[in-house]
């Protein structure tokens, strides 16, 4: 009987059935890989431990970083910047040099418009000046900020009044704690403020120190003098304001409100412009950059540790299973299927280890939060420390998980290829 070559017959069969003859069903590969993972329980436990530690570090540190971002963002917004600042058009280009030439004079009309908008909680007009403050013996430069008390008190929730009381009447002042120290004045003393009016002449006013405030930023506390808006207007000889700070109900609404406002300014020809908090908060931005940088370095270190721990486990496992690899290759497992088999092991280690890591990470974060968070000493240029909580940020958790799985796949590359390329004869001889 003339028999056709077996291989061409097989090829025909494969073409006809359009399937890969050497490839096992993926479910079977998963089941085999899963059993192989749990074969050496102690080693697998150690690998999982490495993955879990890495994940916990990522989730907890990521949560801490995000809490810090949140805290710094809100404190910056609430104590200094507001969510949005409104100025006369041109202020941000030219106004910093000639502030007094870019004042908002139609302030009441603007406020009327702002009151109509739902997301705005507070609109606080401000007029500030740079000048000198004298307490009798000492004279210092200062930053005078005039505002409306009822509005300012709501705005500065991160700024604490540490001595005395808030401004109630005309010609009263609250000064920064560091400034108070360097001037050597007490509550109830009078200080003299000296600056230039809008029309270029020198003017001075005597105000009574009624309180001392502390913001957390030493630099700010060494220059700030808070005054009633009307006092500053009188000092500068104007009825206008420099800017209007807006505080919204939620920080997330900032872009929407900003867009709406820009449209209103255009439509009503109000000749105004605005800046959002993130455009103004340079300190916040640099902190975010710094922390993100540190976090990235940490991610890389953890990825490397996880990489080597999985690669090590797989390499050891392959060494121990050399003869078995020879056997499965001998009985017809293709190189590609062998690679897939070990790949799946690495992948499953990542999947399972990552899951355990998420759970442990969330548990650790919750325990830290319940027990009161992590005390953080005062950051640079700040005067107060704080207790940081760990935010469980879905983005961080998902990101850590995906990276862990990716790293585990990548780390099984080399061991898998090595296993597939073992010489079958030598592998079978291995004892």
> Which lies closer to another protein via its Cβ, residue 63 or residue 326?
326
State the DSSP H helix or E strand holding residue 165, giving kind and residue range, or none if neither: none
Looking at the Cβ atoms of 267 and 331, the one nearer to another protein is 331
User: For another protein, which is the closer residue by CB, 78 or 321?
Assistant: 321
Quick one: 11 or 165, whose CB is closer to another protein? Answer: 11
Distinct helix (H) and strand (E) counts, the chain: 16, 12
CB of 1 to another protein, least distance (A): 7
Q: Which is nearer to another protein, 174 or 422 (CB)?
A: 422
Contacts of residue 89, defined as CB under 8 A and 6 or more positions apart, other chains included, come to 271, 272, 273
Asked if 384 and 428 touch (Cβ cutoff 8 Å), the reply is no
Least Å distance between CB 325 and another protein? 10
Shortest distance in whole angstroms from residue 338 CB to another protein: 9
Nearer of residues 16 and 395 to another protein, judged by Cβ: 16
CB of 344 to another protein, least distance (A): 14
C-beta of residue 140 within 8 angstroms of C-beta of residue 180: no
Which CB sits closer to another protein, 36 or 215?
A: 36
CB of 62 to another protein, least distance (A): 37
Closest CA to 176 of 127, 141, 206, 126: 141
Both tokens of 9, joined, read: 């017959």
Nearest to another protein of 43, 335 (CB atom): 335
**What are the angstrom distances between the C-alpha of 80 and each of 158, 174, 219?**
9, 15, 13
**Closest Cα to residue 119, out of 308, 214, 249, 228?**
249
As a dihedral over the C-alpha atoms of residue 182, residue 188, residue 189, residue 194, rounded to 10 degrees, the angle is 80
Min. distance of Cβ 23 from another protein in angstroms?
Answer: 7
Crossing angle of the two packed helices 41-76 and 282-320, in degrees rounded to 10: 170
Q: Which of 357, 261, 260 is nearest to 306 (CA)?
A: 357
Could you say which DSSP state residue 159 is in? Answer: S
Spatial separation of the C-alpha atoms in residues 236 and 197, rounded to whole Å: 4
CA 428, CA 22: separation in Å to the nearest integer? 21
Least distance (Å) between residue 256 CB and another protein: 57
CB of 26 to another protein, least distance (A): 11
Angle 394-411/41-76 helices, nearest 10 degrees? 140
For residue 212, give both structure tokens. 């001392």
Which positions lie near another protein, rule CB under 8 A? 1, 3, 5-7, 10, 19-25, 28, 32, 35-36, 39, 323-324, 326-337, 423-425, 428
């Amino acid at each position: 009987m003339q028999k056709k070559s077996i291989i061409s017959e097989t090829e025909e069969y494969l073409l006809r059935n359009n399937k890969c003859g050497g490839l096992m069903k993926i479910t079977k590969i998963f089941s085999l890989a899963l059993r192989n993972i749990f074969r050496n329980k102690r080693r697998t436990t150690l690998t999982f431990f490495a993955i879990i530690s890495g994940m916990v570090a990522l989730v907890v540190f990521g949560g801490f970083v995000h809490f810090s971002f949140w805290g710094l963002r809100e404190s910056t917004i609430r104590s200094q910047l507001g969510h949005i600042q409104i100025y006369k058009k041109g202020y941000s280009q030219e106004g910093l040099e000639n502030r007094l030439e870019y004042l908002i004079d139609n302030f009441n009309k603007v406020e009327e418009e702002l009151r109509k908008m739902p997301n705005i909680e507070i609109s606080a007009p401000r007029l500030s000046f740079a000048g000198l403050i004298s307490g009798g013996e000492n004279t210092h430069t200062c930053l005078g900020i005039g505002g409306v008390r009822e509005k300012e008190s709501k705005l500065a929730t991160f700024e604490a009044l540490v001595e005395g009381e808030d401004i109630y009447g005309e010609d009263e002042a609250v000064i920064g704690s560091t400034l108070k120290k360097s001037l050597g004045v007490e509550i109830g003393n009078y200080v003299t403020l000296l600056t230039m009016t809008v029309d270029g002449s020198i003017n001075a006013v005597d105000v009574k120190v009624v309180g001392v405030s502390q913001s957390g930023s030493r630099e700010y506390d060494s220059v700030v003098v808070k005054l009633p808006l009307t006092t500053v207007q009188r000092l500068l000889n104007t009825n206008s304001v420099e800017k209007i700070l807006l505080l919204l109900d939620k920080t997330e609404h900032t872009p929407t409100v900003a867009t709406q406002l820009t449209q209103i300014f255009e439509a009503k020809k109000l000749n105004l412009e605005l800046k959002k908090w993130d455009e103004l908060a340079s300190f916040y931005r640099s902190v975010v950059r710094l922390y993100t940088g540190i976090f990235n370095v940490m991610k890389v270190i953890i990825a490397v540790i996880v990489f080597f721990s999985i690669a090590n486990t797989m390499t050891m496992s392959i060494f121990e299973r050399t003869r078995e690899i020879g056997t499965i290759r001998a009985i017809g497992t293709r190189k590609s299927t062998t690679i897939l088999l070990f790949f799946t092991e690495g992948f499953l280690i990542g999947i399972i280890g990552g899951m355990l890591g998420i759970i442990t990470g969330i548990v650790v974060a919750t325990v830290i939060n319940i027990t009161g968070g992590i005390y953080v000493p005062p950051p640079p240029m700040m005067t107060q420390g704080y207790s940081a909580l760990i935010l469980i940020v879905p983005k961080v958790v998902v990101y850590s998980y995906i990276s862990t799985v990716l790293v585990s796949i990548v780390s099984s590359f080399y061991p898998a290829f090595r296993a597939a390329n073992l010489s079958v004869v030598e592998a079978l001889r291995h004892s």
